Amino acid sequence: MTDWPRLSDAYGSAEGVPDLLDRYEADPEAVSTELVDRLCPMYDTAFSASFAALPRLLGIAAGRAAGERLEVLYLAGAITRCARSSPEAAQMGTLEAAAFCRLTEETLTTPMTAVDYVFLLQSWMAFQGAEVWDRNLENLAEGEHEVDCPYCGVMLTIVFGEEGHFASSEDYANPKAQRSPLRPIDPAQAGGAVQQLYRRALADGQRVVAHGLPYMFGQAVCTDCGTELSVLDRRA
């Protein structure tokens, strides 16, 4: 039996969390914002009550149709992602993580926007314990991320999507900004999580996501010093 008053959330005592979870299960839209604010604000911080809430969140997700459990899986994924830096991480059991993983895999096969799919992939990586990928995949939805040049240290913006596929150390919105084209990585040669994510996106019919992944982690050239670099190595 969980002793909720002895646990904490973002507001202090977690005494009110069980009632909040009851209300969330009955009407998710009415309390979803408050639930996230208390258990995992900004999807980036977790508390003892957050981990204690995972079994209940698992039950809520399992009781919903695949298309109606996205927000629950986002929240559970964010809490799991925070586990590595939390002393309460042990509350997340291996079997529980595997159950979340199975629900997420089932949900990934349902129709959804590319943005929703990317955030769900990020939760999937969290449930598998895949560090780096459980935090950085959201950049795939944004169409850009940043890496530093290993030689001169300048920060490069890696752009992939509607704006094109290039790297730049300048404000790339400026038409005079210098750009260097990206060379996509071969997912088959990359192996590991990149290959896993690429195959998953193709299998789920998410071709926009699958197309972006090789560029997101491809080869770039620093526009300041001309050094060629692996974006994958700079983010891994």
β-pairing, 164-168 vs 155-161, is: antiparallel
Instruction: Please give the model's pTM, rounded to 2 decimal places.
Output: 0.91
At 47 the pLDDT is: 92
Residue 35 · residue 75 · CB < 8 Å? yes
Block mean pLDDT (10 aa), the chain, length 236: 92 96 93 95 91 94 94 94 67 76 96 96 92 84 94 96 93 94 91 91 95 94 97 84
For residues 83 and 17, give the distance between their C-alpha atoms in angstroms, rounded to a whole number. 19
Helix, coil or strand: residue 66: helix
Tokens of 213: 């992944």
At 94 the pLDDT is: 66
Q: Phi and psi (nearest 5°) for 206? A: -95, 75
Residue 31 · residue 23 · CB < 8 Å? yes
At 1 the pLDDT is: 81
At 131 the pLDDT is: 80
Q: Nearest CA to 180 among 165, 193, 195, 201?
A: 165
At 87 the pLDDT is: 61
At 123 the pLDDT is: 95
At 82 the pLDDT is: 85
Q: Nearest CA to 123 among 68, 67, 80, 63?
A: 80
At 65 the pLDDT is: 93
Q: Nearest CA to 199 among 162, 107, 135, 209?
A: 209
